[in-house]
Amino acid sequence: MKFNITYFDDHLDNIECYQELFEDDFLITGHTNSADYEEALKLTRPHGILLDLHMPTLDGLELYGKIIVSDHYNGCPIFFISGDASNDSRLKMIQTGGVDVFSRTINCSELKVRLSNKIKLFLQGHTVIDVDNLTLDTSLFTLSVNQVPVDLTLIEMRILSIVIRQIPKS
């Protein structure tokens, strides 16, 4: 299974580089406009989110704050990446709540392992509930009826998850 990562970076060449380097392990969906985060989260339902620290519209720290309160955020790990190696910047990214912080100079193999390990931890609580023709994935917040995806907000997903768990098992 390839992990789905939504990557926000104002430089398309950075996005394309990571897409090529990690094509065997990750499906990286890149976005150069951080203001489009709501639509990006709604469409991709990521296993992880990678944020560039320095972007013009919303920097990574501001974007993090908006993502975690979004109706389309599924609680997946959020990572920061930056060429800014200053201690102050690294500390801000960690204090903001980033699961991990990566330097642009990180070894590709190490980056791949660290991303994979943190995403696997997130998915350990992965629960899929099947009721007749309905399938609810409580970790990825996806719902399908007759294998057709249904688009619900995060709050609707949470309510449905609670209701479905109350159905007696036969």
pLDDT band (50, 70, 90) for residue 77: very high
Helix count (H) and strand count (E) of the chain? 6, 9
pTM of this prediction exceeds 0.85: no
Sign of the torsion formed by the C-alpha atoms of 105, 108, 114 and 119: positive
- 132-153: pLDDT as tens digits: 888 887 766 778 899 888 887 7
59 within 8 A of 53, measured Cβ to Cβ: yes
Cβ-based burial of 52 (10 A; exposed 0-12, middle 13-18, buried ≥19): buried
